[in-house]
Amino acid sequence: MANTPENQRKHARTDSLNLSFFCIDKDDNVMAQGMGRTLNLSETGILLETSVQMTPGQSVDMEIALQNDIIDARGTVAHSKAIDDDHFHTGIEFNHLSHADMEILKTHL
């Protein structure tokens, strides 16, 4: 097998899922919300495509649809970049995912 970035990853990835997100300030107030498309997902984080640019360090609550399951996750924005005038790719590292939601996530990876 060739040594490509895809097979060097520590955790498996899954593709193309939908989610809703809520950008949260330090006092847990919702600053922005919307829908996004998951570009890839692992046990430790998610890469999203959204119409909202997020700020690195910002907290984000997410409801992630995994076929017939929905999991709740909170994470911190690691990076966000414009793809065009209306789309942004944002990497979020999970920092809260319940044990039950982690088990659901693992079954889909």
Region of residue 52 (phi > 0: left; psi between -120 and 50: alpha; otherwise: beta): beta
pLDDT 10s digit of each residue in the chain, 109 long?
444 454 455 555 454 468 899 999 989 899 999 999 999 999 999 999 999 999 999 999 999 988 888 999 999 999 999 999 999 999 999 999 999 999 999 998 8
User: Is there a domain that residue 2 lies in?
Assistant: no
Give me the CATH number covering residue 40: 2.40.10.220
User: Is there a domain that residue 79 lies in?
Assistant: yes
**pTM, full prediction:** 0.82
User: Is there a domain that residue 4 lies in?
Assistant: no
User: Is there a domain that residue 5 lies in?
Assistant: no
Nearest to 105 by CA among 56, 70, 60, 57: 70
* Domain range for 32: 10-108
Work out how many domains the chain is built from and give that number: 1
Q: Identify the residue whose tokens are 């692992």.
A: 42
**pLDDT for the residue 68:** 86
Structure tokens, 97: 């995912």
